[in-house]
């Protein structure tokens, strides 16, 4: 089978802004932060961090009580986002035999951490000698993709990818390859994570990469590429995309949001947490080659941009290497400044932001960054300080550079209206 074009026909999100997809992009391009102050009072020691939650998410309303009772919150966010993307693609939820080869590729860095934390607390603190029988199936990392396959009647591959912050970018890339090769006409892909388990938040805190913030300062706590950046802000969420064989999508009259054109990966193979530009360059070049795009064809990059001291300058250095003379005019923004770092869902929510940028011909900014606060070490690209509308975007990249040195990049093309 030859290489096929891959259309994006469905987008779905449990939005941190509590609204729909259109609302998400409007707020994102307006530079509005969804980050709030989280104070966890029922923990052994009160935890106080900036956090991007999904306070409007009602699992019972989205999924129904029977499914909610069988799922950890990370799988609830996954299925809700998948339903939303599936509906957006105009596909009926009830399956038939035509879906036997359709599959799911899902990203999660943490899996059912909330479930594990709750039951382990009972084991250790309450001295219990046994756990609820559903513990294993609630907590397992592939619970999200399994439930999506069951709910949508998808009989092809159902797999999960756990690659830290690159989990869902890799999940989307692997789904893309299945559709492009002709193995599956449709793949549901994306990612979800719930990092607000007390132990998880404390573990990230111990790495000294978390930005501080209180009730007044949390909304502006995440400042990628700024000299006054203090680190990343965690967030929860679920984001899903429907990838579809182009001809299949056209034949059924589906609306096409954009095209996924290429995917590239690499490993720094040098250090667990210190990123290296050379590894990122390899992933960026592999993606451009896979997509058949030249550096000059790219009109926007959604950066990994976590707002850490080490990560931001390395990413800009990698972009400058790959884009050469075009780097100075290459629009770059880090939307994590507004929706936070969703870990295993980060790549998926940023892929959605990138696809919407191409569809709407508008670029979301890096919030909390101005020309005056830009770190000199992060100069050399066209930083997007405020949202841009009415721009001409032909193709864009979305970067995910994970702990472990795993790098993954996706390339998208705009579709003519």
Tell me if 123 contacts other proteins by CB under 8 A.
Answer: no
Residue in 304, 326, 339, 383 annotated catalytic: 304
By beta-carbon proximity to other proteins, the closer residue of 60 and 310 is 60
By beta-carbon proximity to other proteins, the closer residue of 64 and 324 is 64
From the list 22, 69, 123, 217, which residue makes contact with other proteins (rule: CB under 8 A)? 69
Tell me if 65 contacts other proteins by CB under 8 A.
Answer: yes
> 304 catalytic, yes or no?
yes
Residue in 161, 341, 378, 383 annotated catalytic: 341
Q: Per CB under 8 A, which region of 126-134, 148-156, 163-171, 334-342 contacts other proteins?
A: 126-134
From the list 66, 127, 371, 417, which residue makes contact with other proteins (rule: CB under 8 A)? 66
Tell me if 137 contacts other proteins by CB under 8 A.
Answer: yes
As a whole number of angstroms, the longest Cα–Cα distance in the chain is 64
Long-range contacts of the stretch 274-279 (C-beta < 8 A, 24+): 274/310, 275/310, 275/311, 275/314, 275/315, 275/401, 275/405, 276/314, 276/405, 277/314, 277/315, 277/317, 277/318, 277/321, 279/405, 279/407
Distance of CA 253 to the CA centre of its chain: 28
Q: What is the dihedral of CA 267, 269, 273, 276, to 10 degrees?
A: -70
By beta-carbon proximity to other proteins, the closer residue of 130 and 392 is 130
Tell me if 127 contacts other proteins by CB under 8 A.
Answer: no
Q: Please give, one letter per residue, the 3-state secondary structure of 58-118.
A: CHHHHHCHHHHCCCCHHHHHHHHHHHHHHHHCCCCCCCCHHHCCCEEEEECCCCCHHHHHH
By beta-carbon proximity to other proteins, the closer residue of 68 and 377 is 68
Q: How far is the CB of 119 from other proteins (least distance, A)?
A: 12
> 165 catalytic, yes or no?
yes
- CA gap 162, 113 in Å, rounded: 13
Tell me if 64 contacts other proteins by CB under 8 A.
Answer: yes
Residues annotated as catalytic are 165, 304, 341
Residues that bind other proteins (CB under 8 A): 60, 64-66, 69-70, 130, 132-134, 137
């Amino acid at each position: 089978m030859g290489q096929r074009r891959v259309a994006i026909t469905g987008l779905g999100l449990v939005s941190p802004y509590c609204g729909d997809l259109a609302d998400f992009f409007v707020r994102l391009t307006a530079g509005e932060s969804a980050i709030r102050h989280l104070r966890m009072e029922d923990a052994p020691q009160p935890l106080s961090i900036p956090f991007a939650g999904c306070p409007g998410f009602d699992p019972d309303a989205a999924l129904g009580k029977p499914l909610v009772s069988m799922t950890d919150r990370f799988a609830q966010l996954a299925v809700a986002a998948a339903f939303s993307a599936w509906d957006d693609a105009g596909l009926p939820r009830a399956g038939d035999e035509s879906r036997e080869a359709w599959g799911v590729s899902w990203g999660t860095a943490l899996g059912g951490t909330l479930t594990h934390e709750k039951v382990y607390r009972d084991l250790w603190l309450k001295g219990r000698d046994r756990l609820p029988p559903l513990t294993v199936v609630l907590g397992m990392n592939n619970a999200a993709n399994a439930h999506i396959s069951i709910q949508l009647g998808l009989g092809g591959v159902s797999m999960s990818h756990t690659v830290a912050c690159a989990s869902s970018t890799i999940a989307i890339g692997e789904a893309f390859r299945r559709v492009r090769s002709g193995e599956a006409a449709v793949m549901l892909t994306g990612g979800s994570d719930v990092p607000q388990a007390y132990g998880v938040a404390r573990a990230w805190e111990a790495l000294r990469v978390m930005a501080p913030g209180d009730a007044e300062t949390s909304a502006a706590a995440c400042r990628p590429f700024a000299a006054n950046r203090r680190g990343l802000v965690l967030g929860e969420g679920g984001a899903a995309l429907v990838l579809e064989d182009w001809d299949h999508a056209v034949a059924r009259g589906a609306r096409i949001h954009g095209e996924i054109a290429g995917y590239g990966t690499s490993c720094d193979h040098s250090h667990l947490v210190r990123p290296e530009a050379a590894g990122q360059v390899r992933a960026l070049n592999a993606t451009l080659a896979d997509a058949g795009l030249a550096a000059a064809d790219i009109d926007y990059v959604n950066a990994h941009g976590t707002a850490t001291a080490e990560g931001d300058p390395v990413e800009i250095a990698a972009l400058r290497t790959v884009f050469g003379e075009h780097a100075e005019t290459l629009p770059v923004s880090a939307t994590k400044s507004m929706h936070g770092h969703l870990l295993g869902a980060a790549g998926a929510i940023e892929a959605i932001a990138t696809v919407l940028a191409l569809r709407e011909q508008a670029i979301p900014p890096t919030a909390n960054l101005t020309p005056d606060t830009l770190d000199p070490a992060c100069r050399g690209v066209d930083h997007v300080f405020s949202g841009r509308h009415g721009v001409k975007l032909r193709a864009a990249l979305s970067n995910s550079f994970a702990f472990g040195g795993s790098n993954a990049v996706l390339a998208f093309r705009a579709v003519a209206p």
